[in-house]
Amino acid sequence: MVRAAVLSAPGESLRVTDLDLPAPGPGQVRVRIAATGVCHSDLSLAKGILRQAMPVVLGHESAGTVVSVGEGVTRTAPGDRVVLCWAPPDGTCWFCQQGEPWLCENSSNAASAPYATVDGQDVYPGLSTGGFAEETVVSEQAVLPVPAAVPLEHAALVGCAVMTGVGAVLNTAKVREGQSVLVVGLGGVGLSVVQGARLAGAGKVIVVDRSPEKLELAMSMGGTEALEAGGELAKQVRSLTEKRGADHAFDCVGLADTIRSSWSATRRGGVTTIVGIGGKDQQVTFSALELFHFARVVQGCVYGNTDPMTDIPRILDHAAAGRLDLGALISGTVGLTGIDGAFADMGAGKGARVLVVP
Ligand SMILES: [Zn+2]
Ligand SMILES: [Zn+2]
């Protein structure tokens, strides 16, 4: 038995209870969780905005130590320090064959199969990971080694937010040295975009949020100008970019309004990358003439267009060398009983990344 925070149905509170976690099967590994970041997708899953089989143990941004392995496991061994990847590509589907493993058709299969029980009832691993628990069981493809120089609490964030944010800058947008960057929304992912922009050698990095506290944090991580949300964004950004608009915008919110204003704040031919996950009700409108005239690009970005197998080790190397400051992204630590509170703060736009230490 291990302690876990279980969600029975969308909209309910999490219940901390005993989870009956079986020994790892062939190709599986059991991991003792050191820390799991609370991601905005967990909140969307908990509210039912994103779909997930239930009852579920949410949490998909984890790192820990391998405690046991199933038959045939070769990639890892007990005692290894690992980060968990919630979307391990299979390497064989059509998308993987095209070199687009972030769109793998089978990377989320484990989320729809029960992996444990509570009082005899099947429970599912949230986004294939089940990180809000003392231990979990995942496929061996879902664990990658963490270098000794990186604490597991920091490595956890690489599993989702950092991979997504830094990947959006380096892989999706391919920001070049000296280019101007606009980042709207400064949660864990937005702040990772800011650090990614610094890593890419961007010129101006204009950061936008409604929280002065998050703006200050972003300025300490590579932001060069801060704008409190609510003003006329396009006008403000043009005045900071020789009247042209930004070369790149990153929407890390996912609302029609923020996407539209990010797009309007880019220059002619500028690129807007949609990193935040929005709802079906968010309709963004453009006139045909402006789409033609401004020749701007809007692109989606899933998991930072990364191949986790090569990109997670690369990101961890950046962290080990001090080029990424993962510790600065952590704004608080809670136990399993504190997750509902972390969700409430996240909904209110407070804090950066909260870590759950089970
Ligand atoms: Zn996430
Ligand atoms: Zn695939």
User: What secondary structure does DSSP assign to 99-162, as a single string?
Assistant: T-GGG-TTTTGGGGS--EEETTEEEEEGGGT--SBSEEEEEGGGEEE--TTS-HHHHHHIIIII
Record the pTM: 0.95
Task: Please give the structure tokens belonging to residue 280.
Answer: 């079906």
Residues (pLDDT < 50) of the chain are none
CA atoms within 13 A on the CB side of 343: 20
- Choose among 21, 262, 247: nearest CA to 131: 21
* AA identity, residue 114: P
DSSP result, 236-289: HHHHHTTTT-EEEEEE-S--HHHHHHHHHTEEEEEEEEE-S---TT------HH
For residue 91, give the ligand nearest its CA.
2
Q: Which ligand is nearest to the CA of 60?
A: 1
> What digits encode the pLDDT tens for the residues 304-336?
999 999 999 999 999 999 999 999 999 999 999
**Residue 307 Cα distances to 99, 100, 152, angstroms:** 9, 8, 21
Nearest ligand to the CA of 107 is: 2
Query: How close is the Cα of 97 to the center of ligand 2, in Å?
Result: 7
CA of 150 to the centre of ligand 1 (A): 20
Q: What is the predicted pLDDT for the residue at 51?
A: 85
Distance 36 CA to ligand 2 centre (A): 25
Look at residue 181 and give its three-state secondary structure.
strand
The rounded Å distance from CA 310 to ligand 2 centre is 15
- Residue 141 Cα to ligand 2 midpoint, Å, equals 12
Ligand nearest to the CA of 102: 2
Residue 55, preceding peptide bond in cis (omega within 30° of 0): yes
Q: What pLDDT does residue 6 have? A: 97
Residue 156 has a pLDDT of 98
Give the Å distance between the CA of 277 and the centre of ligand 1.
10
CA–centroid distance, 216 to ligand 2, in Å, is: 40
Centre of ligand 2 to C-alpha 256, Å, is 30
Ligand 1: centre distance to CA 86 (Å): 8
Ligand nearest to the CA of 104: 2
Place of tokens 């990847």: 85
Q: Are 304 and 164 in contact (CB under 8 A)?
A: yes
Strands (E), 7-129: 15-19, 28-37, 56-57, 62-69, 81-84, 116-118, 121-125
Distance 215 CA to ligand 2 centre (A): 38
How remote is the CA of residue 163 from the centroid of ligand 2, in Å? 18
